[in-house]
């Protein structure tokens, strides 16, 4: 009996051993399959990524080639308006004017126009920001003396002081700006001034008489009636009526074929060289 039991025991152990062996073989097989699958996926992925990368590189090369073959088109600058046949210089005396210059400059800029502002030194020193607006709009600053005396009745020392003080305050306010033109108050010039003043003196050929009428309509009508090519037009920016008249004068002049320039621009356009101590009524 004991021998039979021993035999059965060995048989059970052998069957268990065989089952364990089969399980181990199965696990190994599964593991091998998983490794193969994962390796295959990685290989496929690598191949696919390689193909995609190659396609991307080829596409970039095609774009670069096309860009190299495409002619470069340079931006064409906006054409500069051709000069008109006629031109005048707009001039404003007795400023700068905090109340009116903004309106005048806005009208000038809207119509591509410039002007010369003959300023008083004692007004310029308190309105430096207005002076910067004037030059920033492409307009010209010139001298109208320090405080508007009749220079022809003064001794030379005082005349020189009137001019020099104005030059210095403008240079200080405008980072070294050099005034090149003088308009003597009242247009009054002495022999001494002609000999000693180192600037051209600019008078006028068309007086709008805005100082007299203080009426925008009358100022406008005077310009319409009298203006001609090469004129230097006299106005005063201290009067609000003048600022209102400018709103009509500037676009009307443009419609009539006039360029509106600074005095220096007008003289250059007309080929007129300005000389020290000499007086000029117009550019003709």
Q: Looking at the annotation, which residues are catalytic?
A: 93, 236
CA nearest neighbour of 230 among 258, 255, 210, 250: 258
Classify 157 as helix, strand or coil: helix
CA-derived radius of gyration, the chain: 45
**Residues paired with 93 in a beta bridge:** 118, 236
Alpha-carbon gap, residue 7 to 158, rounded angstroms: 146
- Phi first, then psi: what are they for 203, rounded to 5°? -100, -135
Cα–Cα distance, 141 to 224 (Å, whole number) = 26
The residues, any chain, with a CB within 8 Å of residue 131's CB and separated by 6 or more, are: 96, 119, 124, 141, 170, 173, 174
């Amino acid at each position: 009996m004991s021998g039979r039991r021993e035999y059965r025991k060995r048989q059970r152990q052998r069957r268990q051993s065989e089952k364990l062996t089969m399980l181990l073989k199965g696990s190994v097989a599964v593991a091998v399959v998983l490794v193969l699958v994962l390796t295959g996926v990685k290989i496929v992925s690598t191949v696919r990524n390689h193909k995609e990368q190659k396609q991307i590189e080829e596409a970039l090369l095609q774009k670069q080639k096309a860009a190299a073959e495409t002619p470069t088109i340079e931006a064409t600058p906006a054409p500069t308006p051709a000069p008109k046949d006629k031109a005048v210089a707009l001039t404003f005396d007795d400023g700068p004017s905090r109340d009116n210059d903004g309106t005048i400059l806005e009208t000038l800029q809207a119509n591509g126009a410039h002007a010369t502002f003959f300023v008083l030194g004692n007004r310029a020193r308190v309105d430096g920001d207005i002076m910067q607006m004037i030059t920033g709009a492409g307009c010209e600053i010139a001298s109208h003396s320090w405080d508007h005396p009749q220079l022809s009745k003064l001794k030379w020392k005082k005349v020189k002081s009137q001019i020099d003080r104005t030059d210095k305050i403008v240079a200080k306010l405008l980072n070294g700006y050099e005034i090149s033109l003088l308009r003597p108050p009242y247009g009054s010039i002495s022999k001494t001034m002609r000999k000693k003043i180192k600037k051209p003196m600019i008078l006028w050929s068309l007086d709008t008489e805005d100082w007299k009428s203080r009426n925008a309509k009358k100022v406008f009508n005077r310009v319409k009636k009298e203006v001609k090519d090469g004129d230097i037009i006299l106005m005063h920016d201290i009067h609000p009526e003048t600022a209102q008249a400018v709103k009509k004068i500037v676009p009307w002049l443009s419609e009539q074929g006039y360029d509106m320039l600074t005095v220096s621009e007008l003289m250059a356009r007309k080929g007129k060289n300005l000389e020290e101590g000499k007086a000029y009524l117009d550019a003709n």
